[in-house]
Structure 1
Amino acid sequence: MAQKATKTLAASNARRLNQTLYATLFIHGLFWLLRAFVFRSSFTRRSLILYLVLSAPQLFINFQFERIARPVYHPDGSIKRAGEDLEAKGLTEYMWDVMYWTYGCILLASVLGDWAWVWWAVVPLYSVYLAYTTYTGMRGGFTDAAGVPQPGAASKRQQKMEKRGGQKVQYR
């Protein structure tokens, strides 16, 4: 079993990308079907522009995931490249959140109408909130709500050493 981790990653990526592709096709198809047949009178040029602009980030993220994470195989069937890990923390995790939130907004907009696109504004507002709280925490030097600086919690070993008079350096 040579390269078991590579094979596992390639299989996991292919499965997750296929599920994402099917979910994207289903959700966007449902939007178009409901707007074309059920809510035909409320589908205007404004609705189309809102759909294109607000679903573009999800489609772009889907395209990026396909480009960086889809496994590439040699003609003999061996793995040439397994792709990037779709379970990575950080930006990849945030991109999944944006994708799922956009899915929800598309479903709400397909059933409830154009005003449901307002829910898409939660993503940038939350990002601004996180940036602001990070900035104020760094600017304040990690103080508490009253503005009192919080010292780092010392371990028991550090507390014992300080009680004895600090760490003694021995010279030879």
Structure 2
Amino acid sequence: MAQKVQKTQAARNTTTLNRTHLISLAIYLLFLLTSTFLFTRNLLPFILLNLPALAIEVWFERIGRPTYTPPSPSTSTSTSGGRDLRKAGEPLDAKGLTEWMWDIVYWSWGNTVLVAIAGNWAWWLYAVVPLYSAWLGWSTYAGVRQGFSGVSAGAGGAGTGDGGGVGGQSKRQAKMERKGGQRVQYR
């Protein structure tokens, strides 16, 4: 059963890697042909801004390509050609860092096609990624800071509080005091 899962993973990785390399080749050829014959495009930004995507493709090839044992002469008549799966490769559809690296590859492809069609000004779209990252970092920092202000209010600090009650009380405590229930003494 485990061998079937590994063979499925190996087939999926092989298909994904072959498709990725063909798409990259087509996009890069489109850019080079349009920059050579139709329009004037800068090659330096093309090279510099596609290096991360190319490095990621090489990395995916290295970790994702399945490896097989060399064919043995005695089993050349079997259906697998005498090759047994040695390693299926890492899953290329994993969450986290792998997913982020696919985003970089896709963004590079999109920008390259846009530059080939629209012009050199489209290289500036690469600035969207660091700007979005900065905005995401700032919003995370602001949310954590706001969360810690509620913690300091509970410790006697002058935070904003969380319930909108009177004098740092929660709504429940204020309602109980209005009804004449338990009175909470604060020291």
TM-score for the superposition, normalised by structure 1? 0.77
- When Rg is computed on C-alpha atoms for both structures, the one with the higher figure is 2
Distance 2:149 2:21 in 1: 46
Distance 1:79 1:106 in 2: 37
The residue number in structure 1 matching 2:45 is: 50
Superposition RMSD in Å: 2.0
Query: Where does structure 1 lack aligned partners over 5 or more consecutive residues?
Result: 152-172
The residue number in structure 1 matching 2:133 is: 127
Distance 1:107 1:116 in 2: 9
Runs of 4+ in 1 over 6 A off after TM superposition: none
Q: CA deviation at 1:141?
A: 1.7
Q: CA deviation at 1:123?
A: 1.5
The residue number in structure 2 matching 1:116 is: 122
Distance 1:64 1:150 in 2: 48
Distance 1:133 1:33 in 2: 42
Secondary structure at the residue paired with 1:3? helix
Change (3 A) 1:4 1:50: same
Distance 2:149 2:64 in 1: 42
Distance 1:92 1:80 in 2: 23
Kept in 2, the 8 Å contact 1:7–1:82? The answer is yes
**Cα shift readout 1:81-118 (whole Å, capped 9, x = no counterpart):** 11111111111111111111110100011111110111
Q: Percent identity?
A: 47
**Alignment partner of 1:137 is 2:143:** yes
User: Of residues 83, 93, 98 in structure 1, which corresponds to 2:89?
Assistant: 83
Q: CA deviation at 1:131?
A: 1.8
Kept in 2, the 8 Å contact 1:71–1:79? The answer is yes
Query: Where does structure 2 lack aligned partners over 5 or more consecutive residues?
Result: 71-81, 151-158, 164-187
TM-score for the superposition, normalised by structure 2? 0.71
Distance 1:98 1:143 in 2: 36
Amino acid across the alignment from 1:89: K
Kept in 2, the 8 Å contact 1:142–1:150? The answer is no
Q: CA deviation at 1:140?
A: 2.2
Distance 2:102 2:162 in 1: 35
Distance 1:143 1:74 in 2: 60
Change (3 A) 1:77 1:149: farther
Structure 2 matches for 1:53-72, cutoff 5 A?
53-72=48-67
The number of residue pairs the alignment matches comes to: 144
Structure 2 matches for 1:92-111, cutoff 5 A?
92-111=98-117
Kept in 2, the 8 Å contact 1:14–1:70? The answer is yes
| Larger RCO (CA within 8 A; separation ≥ 6) | 1
Distance 2:21 2:121 in 1: 26
